[in-house]
Amino acid sequence: MVWWPFRKKRVGLVLGGGVARGIAHVGVIRVLKEAGVPIDLVVGTSSGSMIGAALAAGLEQRLIEEIALRIKWGEFFKFAFFRPGLASAEAIEEFVVKYIGDLRFVDLKVPFATVATDLRSGNRVVIREGRIAKAVAASATFPGFFAPEEFHGRHLIDGGIVGNVPVDTARELGADYVIASDAVPDRTVKAVPSDPLQMLGRALDMVLKRLSTAEAHRADVLIELDMEEDIWHLDFHKARKLITAGEVAAHRVINKVKRDLGLR
């Protein structure tokens, strides 16, 4: 391949997992769009794959924000009988179909991939074909709570375990310039967790942050949340605050992005 110095960079947007905190990606996307940043490829993990699927499907920003503000935790709970999990991943599939449609990867406006974890081997699985709802569910099935999702003969669980901010995957899929949005806040919290779920969530955050830091920093631009208050995994009712936090985080780096991409 002949190298040409003025070749347009292929921009990849990586949206990390973080349960409710993934809603912050909506604010990040708004800032990128307002700045005219082209998005040529989207890669998502867990809740980041839900937002990424909506973006790749071509939903208007206004609709994506409306969906984020309507999300209720109960929508994701559907009992799993005789399976290794409290809830079935079918609830995630139904959510995606309800708000995005029963699309396949070939129907998307922007190339998109989700990251999941193979339960047997522990390897990263990048999904780029089939039904979007099934792929998103596979990426977002947190082990223990959700039963594993069966996909193409594999049993898959949450992609955050092997790639919570999958920058390397975006590179492998052809992104020359990677913008990564990490929905797991800074390692410090302002208050000690007050209930068992918050305590579990805090422990999970520390593990995911440690596992994903090196890969996340291989992005050309890393967007990290710095929230004024502790917002926990199931705080879907704080969607508006999360969107604002995403906007603030994106504004901190948007001038660098515009310079790097030659945007006015």
CB 157 within 8 A of CB 116: yes
| Bridging pattern class, strands 11-15 and 177-182 | parallel
Cβ atoms within 10 Å, residue 238? 18
Catalytically active residues, by annotation: 46, 158
Residue 157 contacts by C-beta under 8 Å, 6 or more apart in sequence?
Answer: 116, 117, 119, 138, 141, 142, 143, 146, 148, 149
CA distance 75 to 78: 8
CA distance 108 to 56: 6
Which DSSP state fits 89? T
CA distance 66 to 19: 17
